Amino acid sequence: METTKFKATFLGYGNVRLVDYHGTDASVVKAARVSYGKDIDDPEKDAKLIRYLLANKHTSPFEHVSFTFHIKCPIFVARQWMLEQGVSRELARTVLPVSLYTEFYGTVNLHNLLHFLELRLHDHAQPEIREYANQIHDKISYLFPSTFAAWKELRGIT
């Protein structure tokens, strides 16, 4: 399901493209309710459940949703990105010269994407990676309206 529908170009030659995704808000709800053996079809109850899960840090249901992005960014932005994935600074420095752009595919589940966005949308985040985080947020928040509404509400984001 390769698509350019979600492509955004910014920061010179950088871009973010959503290549594929798996799941919806309903996937989160089904994962949370599986132990009850019930499949309730009520969008209002689903939204309340998602808010409850986020508010109480019950994040495993969000790990059943995944995204694959094609990222093109300056090396120094990729370094910060890779640090989120557990690559040490020392290792990143040995393979990434800072004067070039790089491209990579990154796959992340919804739980970890929300964590990435929380860190990288913060006012203290480096402006360049904050722009990438804004682009990702803008491209996927409407795909998961209940999750992002609850996430924003719990963080006081308008």
Return the active site residues: 120
A 10 A CB-CB count for 71 gives 19
Contact predicate 150/54, CB 8 Å: yes
Half-sphere exposure of residue 70: CA atoms within 13 angstroms, side-chain side: 14
Collapsed DSSP state (helix, strand, coil) of residue 106: strand
Q: How far apart are CA 70 and CA 106, in angstroms?
A: 7
Backbone angles phi and psi of 44, in degrees to 5: -65, -45
Which residue is listed with tokens 């360049």? 128
